[in-house]
Amino acid sequence: MTTITITVPVVIEADRLWSEVFGGGYEYAPAVCRVKFDHGTTWEKAGVAQVFIENPENDMALVDRRVVIDDIAEAYGKLLAMGYHHCGAPLDLDSFDSCASFDVLQMAVFGELVFA
């Protein structure tokens, strides 16, 4: 069977996506996840964040990465392209919660979902 991939553009407001992810409750994920915002950035104003997530190969260590809105948008887009569901429903901007928020962050840091 021959398959083709189509790309569907999704236009979203940067601060809205940023605030859904950083205000979504990633702190309650089962793996350790902390965020430090750079000067001028807040959970609801897109900018630069340092994201620290438990190292999947060593739970005593954290992996850290600087992320900007483009990293968050790319991670969100990858999840949409995968048909990602959480809590029994497809991901959209109105459905963010702690698992969706953490999954976008781990996708931004690792490029894949390493914590199921």
Nearer to Zn ion, 21 or 41 (CB): 21
Rg for the chain, CA atoms, rounded = 14
The secondary structure of the chain, three-state, reads CCCCCCCCCCCCCHHHHHHHHHCCCHHHCCCCEEEEECCCCECCECCEEEEEEEECCEEEEEEEEEEEHHHHHHHHHHHHHCCCEECCEECCCCCCCHHHHHHHHHHHHHCCCCCC
Nearer to Zn ion, 56 or 90 (CB): 90
> Is residue 99 near Zn ion by the rule CB under 5 A?
yes
- Residue 75 CB, shortest distance to Zn ion, in Å, is 15
- Residue 22 CB, shortest distance to Zn ion, in Å, is 16
> Is residue 65 near Zn ion by the rule CB under 5 A?
no
> Is residue 89 near Zn ion by the rule CB under 5 A?
no
- Residue 7 CB, shortest distance to Zn ion, in Å, is 25
Phi, psi of 70 (to 5 degrees): -65, -35
Q: What character string, x for contact with Zn ion (CB under 5 A) and - otherwise, covers 21-60?
A: ----------------------------------------
Among 86, 110, 114, 115, binds Zn ion (CB under 5 A): 86
